[in-house]
């Protein structure tokens, strides 16, 4: 199992610990995106071996996450489509099939993920979207869309290179 799949399972486990039975695909995409943003902010590099995000209507999405979900589906997770009468779109609910006891992460990585996920788990999708759209990569995309006078530059690859290192980290590096 790859690092992304492990991260998704860990995220779902953390969600369960916060009393959340499942996460929607949109929540999952946004939370993994924010983990990647924070990784660049605090380490200057990706948390994952290989992941890319592109601009779509509901913000950043990743084909890599879709593939990871396909690999995990039925064996480790359940993906159930639900529809509420007061909302026109269906929601894809992702839940753990069973509790996972062991993860293949270093202690520092677990602490990092806990810090990020605790900051964002349980927020509404609207609030998550607001936070995601205020990250440097999404601000870049929004500026490009404004310049191109278009609503959405669908499929445009999102770059994390504009994320500055945290000032405390910079201080440690330059000391």
Q: If phi over 0 gives left and psi between -120 and 50 gives alpha, with beta otherwise, what is residue 25?
A: alpha
Count of structural domains, the chain: 1
| pLDDT exceeds cutoff 70 at 101 | yes
**What confidence tens digit (pLDDT) does each residue in 58-76 have?**
889 999 999 999 999 999 9
Answer yes or no: pTM beyond 0.75: yes
What is the span of the domain harbouring residue 111? Answer: 3-174
């Amino acid at each position: 199992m790859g690092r992304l799949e492990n991260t998704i399972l860990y995220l779902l486990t953390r969600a369960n610990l916060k009393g959340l039975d499942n996460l929607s695909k949109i929540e999952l995409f946004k939370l993994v995106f924010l983990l990647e943003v924070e990784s660049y902010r605090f380490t200057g590099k990706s948390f994952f071996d290989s992941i890319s995000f592109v601009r779509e209507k509901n913000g950043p999405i990743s084909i890599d996450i879709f593939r990871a979900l396909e690999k995990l589906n039925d064996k480790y997770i359940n993906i159930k489509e639900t529809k509420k009468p007061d909302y026109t779109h269906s929601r894809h609910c992702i839940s753990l099939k069973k509790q996972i006891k062991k993860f293949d992460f270093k202690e520092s990585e677990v602490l990092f993920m806990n810090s990020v996920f605790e900051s964002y788990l349980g927020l509404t999708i609207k609030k998550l979207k607001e936070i995601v759209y205020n990250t440097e990569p999404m601000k870049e995309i929004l500026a490009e869309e404004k310049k191109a006078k278009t609503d959405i530059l669908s499929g445009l690859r999102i770059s994390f290179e504009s994320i500055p290192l945290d000032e405390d980290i910079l201080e440690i590096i330059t000391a």
